[in-house]
Amino acid sequence: MTEMLMEDVAEQLVARGKGILAADESTGTIKKRFDTIHTECTEENRRNYRELLFTAEGISDYISGVILFDETLRQTATDGRRFADILLEQGIFPGIKVDKGAKPLAFSEGELITEGLDGLRERLAEYRELGARFAKWRAVIPISPGAPSPYGIEANAHALARYAALCQEAGLVPIVEPEVLMDGEHNIDECYAVTETALKAVFDELYKQRVVLEQMLLKPNMIVSGIGCPEQADAAEVASKTIYCFEQTVPASVPGIVFLSGGQSEEQATLNLNEMNQNSPHPWELSYSFGRALQTSALQAWGGKTENKEAAQHAFIHRCQMTSAARDGRYSSDQEKQA
């Protein structure tokens, strides 16, 4: 595994029936998730929770790579094995979130810019030593009456490309994630317009900065209605507008598009992914890199209690099975009820 070419890693991450588990919540974000189950955010609880996910029986049938947070990449499981090794032993690529979060963009109210470029070359070299084979950087693009501006989109696209080029220099496959947020009352067509503009800017910067498209994956939002929009688009509309948007913006040399779930329910994200894959083939593999849509049920079932470990693993594997089926266009919501 260690000597694999980046294009082969990228291809394997989007192998049929498989996708990525985003388990790279920062300490602040995992605390928010633990708050929902009234569980204290200690290092031990974070370790126990990640351990139950990564050791769930059958995970490698559905998960090709796991994105980790810095702490987790350095952490060991209760039996003393490093998490990175536990994944590698199962044929799962460990990945690493390398951005340092989104901060307010100067002179542009309501917009954000992702930080973390300073010292990134050195951090990437260390992460590769620690076993990471791919990386993630998330740019955040909120929609509001005054945003996004061309300035906000350009600044984020530029940073994404700087990150991606450094990753490839270090031998890590970059996951390029420009996330247009679902928050707001905007309709699906506004989401389309902003996403199309953002993706055009991102691929323009990737080209200028000499990023090799065969050696990366794109992690976008689906084109959906804002959470507060009174008219919610159905899966058929989400799928057709999302695919049309990529046809306009994403070169066919990109091997795969791995969606974030972005706050959609587990079932909704699965349905939408399925709908897109039922209308295949497409120039790129359409797969998943879900955080919440793979973990919410498992987190609830666990509730921070050791005795619930098996129930949580069961819930997690069920979500993996449903999402994997959707990745191949084989999902129906009846399968949820049968479980």
List residues binding ligand 13P (CB under 6 A).
22, 138, 177, 260-262, 290-293
Given 51, 177, 179, 266, the catalytic residue: 177
Nearer to ligand 13P, 163 or 253 (CB): 163
Q: Is 337 a catalytic residue?
A: no
Given 219, 241, 266, 285, the catalytic residue: 219
Q: How far is the CB of 69 from ligand 13P (least distance, A)?
A: 10
Tell me whether the omega of the peptide bond preceding residue 281 falls within 30 degrees of 0, making it cis.
yes
Q: How far is the CB of 147 from ligand 13P (least distance, A)?
A: 19
Nearer to ligand 13P, 241 or 292 (CB): 292
CB–CB of 240/203 below 8 Å?
no
Q: Is 185 a catalytic residue?
A: no
Q: Which conformational region is residue 134 in: left (phi greater than 0), alpha (psi within -120 to 50 degrees), or beta?
A: beta
State how far the alpha carbon of 106 is from the alpha carbons of 98, 113, 181, in Å: 22, 9, 20
Closest-approach residue to ligand 13P (CB) = 291
Nearer to ligand 13P, 95 or 152 (CB): 95
Nearer to ligand 13P, 68 or 239 (CB): 68
Residue indicated by tokens 């930080």: 115
Beta strand extents in the chain (DSSP E only): 19-23, 63-68, 93-97, 102-104, 112-114, 134-141, 173-180, 217-218, 256-259, 285-290
Q: How far is the CB of 293 from ligand 13P (least distance, A)?
A: 5
> Catalytic amino acids?
177, 219
